[in-house]
Amino acid sequence: MTDLAEALRRAVRGEVGFDVTSRALVTMDASNYRRVPLGVVAPRDADDVAAVLAVCRARGVPVVARGGGTSIAGQATGAGVVLDFTRHMNRLLDLDPDGRTAVVQPGLVLDRLQEAAAPHGLRFGPDPSTHSRCTLGGMIGNNSCGSHSVAWGTTADSVRELSVVTARGQRLRPGRDWAGAPDGLRELAAGELARLRTGFPDLPRRISGYALDALLPEKGADVARSFCGSEGTLGILTEAVVRLVRAPRARALAVLGYGDESAAAEAAAGLLPLAPLTVEGMAADLVRSAAGLPKGGAWLFVETGGESAGEARARAEEIVRAADVVDALVVTDAGAQRALWRIREDASGTATRLPDGSEAWPGWEDCAVPPARLGAYLRDFRALLSAHGLRGTPYGHFGDGCIHVRIDFDLLTEAGVGRFRRFSEELAGLVVEHGGSLSGEHGDGQARAELLPRMYGAETVRLFERAKALWDPDDLLNPGMLVRPAPLDTNLRFSVLPGRPVDVEFGYPADGGDFRAAVRRCVGVAKCRTATASGPAVMCPSFRATGEEEHSTRGRARLLHEMLAGELVTDGWRSPEVRDALDLCLSCKGCRSDCPVGVDMATYKAEFLHHHYAGRRRPAAHHSMGRLPEWLRWAARTRTAPLLNVLASLRPFAAVGKRLGGIAAERDIPRLAPRTFTGWWRTRRAAPASGPAGKLVVLWPDTFTEHLSPSVGRAAVRVLEAAGLRVTLPPTLLPRAAALGTGRSRSAAALLTARRARVCCGLTYVSTGQLDRARAVLRRTLDLMEPVLRARVPVVVLEPSCAAALRTDLPELLPDDPRAAELSAAVLTFAEALERHAPHWTPPAVDRPVAGQTHCHQHAVLGDSPDRRLREAAGLTGVLSGGCCGLAGNFGFEKGHFEVSKACAEDQLLPSLRGAPEEALVLADGYSCRTQLAQLAGVRGRHLAEVLAQALDPAEPRAGS
């Protein structure tokens, strides 16, 4: 390896990575398979590609080309050198609107091409659901299709000419009329014309095998088309000329409801004569929420186009009339259409968990049959599943007869793997009986190539081998794929995981308490690699800031998988590679909601840090910011806040403090409030009740509200009381326990201790992996809150990150304490409290536009629908951006994180402010968000409670602390 690495570094200008992290990140794709490569090269150009091939050829080392890294059949994994085109060879080289063509490099993400073509009214026809991160090179390698294939075909239909480097260094330009054919290919085809004319099924989605029938003279002897779908086994693509299509000016989406997916499948082919743009199908089992969908147990998503919105709608309504449906919906609003399409696009992830939470896997992801036979095939498919005791929910491209499905294979035991093989063999026979193709979109790879003789026969498969030998006589390129394949039940990625659960701190309730199952959640669909955030999405801010795979949710999950495997990452919980990859995780929890399979990297990071630093010296930031509640309580008790503020304002003292605390030098140390929120509370007079006594609520004095932003707490009290609610604080509730019906009594000493103690959500301890301390803090909090829980009093939490910690981290850290679940269920956000317990209250009319960002934890854990309704009722107009502010509690303050923190803010938050009206109010419910706004933009963000309180008392000066 050392010799190979050095030879490659001398030969290429791109990066060469033979380190543990570089290799661990590409051991898997989105399939069931895993191979450990020798190294990874990110070539800068075709010369680099040729140089890599020369070095590897001289040493007999295989080469695997990797596009976006999300192949589902195992073809993006390999044991040699992996080529990553996403880093450098990712450009759009030319766009010709008149000729409707584009020249692209293999690492160009499809959405970047679509964005460049859109101003000209053009688009690339095929669009897989992974369009936000899949690359053109990967699409050509797999002959990808997507939802619009009924209108615009597969990737092969959109390719004009390719630039290819062969394994022996020959540079070819495959095209039509034998252009770019390697020596001997023309003669091979001429000798097999009968087989080429009769041995290949006529299907819109025939992706399996090599497309050698494209070499027939009546098909234009199209070498480029025959190269598409070759899965990197024939040559290395370095450039492509692709065809663009005219995009319709307007679109409408008809969503058709059916009783089940078989009924939807039966109907799909009958809609094709109406020339729809899409005919996509999915069943209710794959939908997290059916809100916005018509009634039914399955749906067809049928898109139509036109020169005007009216024409598109008329075509959609014609389809509705022609369909025999349970219910239907026609949508013309672009935003509503995107929301519905996201439901379909996320199916590749949501399908990996069955309704009861069981795991389901690819392997038979995309068989295709003639569209008219789809209903019959699905019935037989269901029967075969039942015969093997397996479950799965089909979805996919019903109009093309192509079905995606994830099946609950047991790939962890010998018996389960044996059943996987038997089912695969029988299903291959079933597909062939229905005149279908083993692959209808994602290629054969290792998952299906072994079974190609069942589809094509032994002679045609030998013809594939002869064609491969003409392109790659040394079998250097992606060996084990398509021809002479590895058995479908070898190299399974789960075989290397430990046989027994590992000891962990969190409960992982959605994964049966098994950390291995939690890590297995990541199946590689790579939604976290989306470079441009859209809508309210948060995931994954650190990847968008750095563009590096190791800083994506998927990359971190890969490293955790390899940590558990112990083959490549050998230090277990002590691994520096895993630590460094997790270092830039902001713990924003965006993946918990945005990842289609619910990966929760914030929790995994906290778990890892706990074990990594057990018995070891922790970074200074873990002490300074991880134990922030303790330091702030000390400052309040000793009344040293004014002195600390003065010292923090003096540059020499601040510099020393930041250095000792592991705080970024670029950061200003926030000022402590001269009086705490609870200090103000003890001296205030409660507002007189107006009318009947309102609902009693407990207002949670979180650390940030208590010591840093007491104005938020004061404002919340003002608004909650104006809404008719009675507000109290813990633990001052304890002396009145009997009045609340607890029937408990405590000694005077216990009550005095309770008054001195403070509730805490444990957030700062969790985020720094101090889980033993977090658990102790949370147990003490539960003791203090016990009377509240017994009385079932709602708990209003103003800081979104604290509310999220109480909702999720608390019950997952203390799963055996029933009080944890009770407190979690009692937690309400400010807007939720008003909506549930003061439903008839009308907020004051503010009538201003707003700008800002929905807190990432609010988006991921709490939901913001009540907030949006409250803003609307108050006349606050506009939509808050998504993303993460980049400060994220301690993250943005830690030394070495400033630039990434700033880049995260520039992703959505700061641009949203620049584009806002001058009179807009800047909303930021999180203390971190308000601090980031102040330090990077000089803007004061305000909690929604502050805005409403100011409107209630317009004569009052705006509180500044």
Digit-coded pLDDT (tens) for 405-441: 999 999 999 999 999 999 999 999 999 999 999 999 9
Label residue 747 by pLDDT band (50, 70, 90).
Answer: very low
Q: What percent of the chain has pLDDT over 70?
A: 94
Q: What pLDDT does residue 961 have?
A: 37
Q: Calculate the CA dihedral of residues 141, 142, 146, 149 and round it to 10 degrees.
A: 90
pLDDT at 347: 74
Three-state helix/strand/coil letters over 569-628: CCCHHHCHHHHHHHHCCCCCCHHHHHCCCCCCHHHHHHHHHHHHCCCCCCCHHHHHCCCH
- Sheet containing 159-165, strands listed edge to edge, beginning at the edge strand earlier in sequence: 92-96, 101-104, 236-243, 159-165, 171-172
pLDDT of residue 755: 47
CB 607 within 8 A of CB 573: no
Burial (CB count <10 Å: 0-12, 13-18, 19+), residue 10? exposed
Which is nearest to 461 in space by CA: 192, 245, 724, 720?
192
Q: What's the DSSP call for residue 512?
A: T
The answer to whether 682 and 661 are in contact (CB under 8 A) is: no
Low-confidence winner among 590-594, 755-759, 805-809 (lowest mean pLDDT): 755-759
Run of H or E residues at 811: helix 810-813
Residue 365 · residue 74 · CB < 8 Å: no
Residue 607 structure tokens: 């778990």
Phi-psi region of 413 (alpha: psi -120 to 50; beta: other; left: phi over 0): beta
pLDDT in tens, 783-801: 999 999 999 999 999 999 9
Least confident among 15-19, 320-324, 459-463, 606-610: 320-324
Chain centre to alpha carbon of residue 816 = 30
CB 68 within 8 A of CB 526: yes
Task: Provide DSSP, 414-433.
Answer: HHHHHHHHHHHHHHHHHHHH
**pLDDT, tens digit, for every residue of 618-663?**
999 999 999 999 999 999 999 999 999 999 999 999 999 999 999 9
Mean local confidence (pLDDT), 459-463: 97
- Per-residue pLDDT for 742 more than 50? no
Please, are residues 431 and 437 in contact by the beta-carbon 8 Å criterion? yes
Which pair of structure tokens corresponds to residue 341?
């399409």
* Mean pLDDT value across residues 199-212: 94
pLDDT for residue 960 is more than 90: no
In which residue are the tokens 């829980």 written?
A: 789
Q: pLDDT band at residue 745, thresholds of 50, 70 and 90?
A: very low
Q: Which two tokens stand for residue 364?
A: 């038979």
Q: Which two tokens stand for residue 489?
A: 């039940």
The answer, yes or no, to whether residue 734 has pLDDT greater than 50, is no
Mean pLDDT calculated for residue range 15-39: 96
Q: Dump pLDDT digits (tens) for 671-712.
A: 999 999 999 998 886 655 444 568 999 999 999 999 999 999
Q: What is the pLDDT of residues 81-103, one digit of tens each?
A: 999 999 999 999 999 999 999 99
Q: How far apart are CA 705 and CA 698, in angstroms?
A: 14
Sequence-ordered list of residues with C-beta below 8 angstroms from that of 683, at least 6 positions apart, any chain: none
Please identify, in words, the CATH class of the domain defined by 248-351: alpha beta
Q: Residue 954: what pLDDT?
A: 79
- Give the confidence band of 528 by pLDDT, cuts at 50, 70, 90: very high
Q: 584 in the Ramachandran plot: left (φ > 0), alpha (ψ -120 to 50) or beta?
A: alpha
Q: How is residue 135 annotated by DSSP?
A: B
Domain 1-84 has CATH 3.30.43.10: yes
pLDDT in tens, 853-867: 999 999 999 999 999
Q: What is the DSSP string of 461-472?
A: HHHHHHHHHHH-
pLDDT at 748 over 50: no
- pLDDT at res. 751: 42
More confident residue, 361 or 349: 361
DSSP label at residue 919: T
Which tokens in the block code for residue 258?
A: 């059916």
Task: Kindly report, residue by residue over 477-524, the tens digit of the pLDDT.
Answer: 999 999 999 999 999 999 999 999 999 999 999 999 999 999 999 999
pLDDT category of residue 741 using cuts at 50, 70 and 90: very low
280-283 and 395-397 strand pairing:
antiparallel
pLDDT confidence band for 602 (50 / 70 / 90): very high
Instruction: Name residue 312's amino acid.
Output: A
DSSP label of 20: H
CATH: 3.40.50.720, 3.40.50.80, 3.30.870.10, 3.30.465.10. Which one for 99-246? 3.30.465.10
Q: Tell me the torsion sign for CA atoms 705, 709, 714, 716.
A: negative
For position 743, what pLDDT does the model report? Answer: 36
pTM score, whole prediction = 0.92
pLDDT in tens, 917-945: 999 999 999 999 999 999 999 999 999 99
Which residues are 28's β-sheet partners? 34
**Which pLDDT score, from 0 to 100, does residue 956 have?**
59
State how far the Cα of 57 lies from the Cα of 76, in Å rounded to an integer.
19
Whether the per-residue pLDDT at 276 is higher than 50: the answer is yes
Give me the pLDDT at residue 686, please. Answer: 60
| Mean pLDDT, residues 383-409 taken together | 93
Res. 955 pLDDT band, cuts 50 70 90: low
Please report the pLDDT score of residue 692 as a whole number. 54
| pLDDT recorded at residue 354 | 82
- Amino acid occupying residue 684: R
pLDDT at residue number 287: 79
Find the mean pLDDT for residues 756-760: 78
CA distance 243 to 656: 61
pLDDT of 733 reads 43
Mean pLDDT of the chain: 92
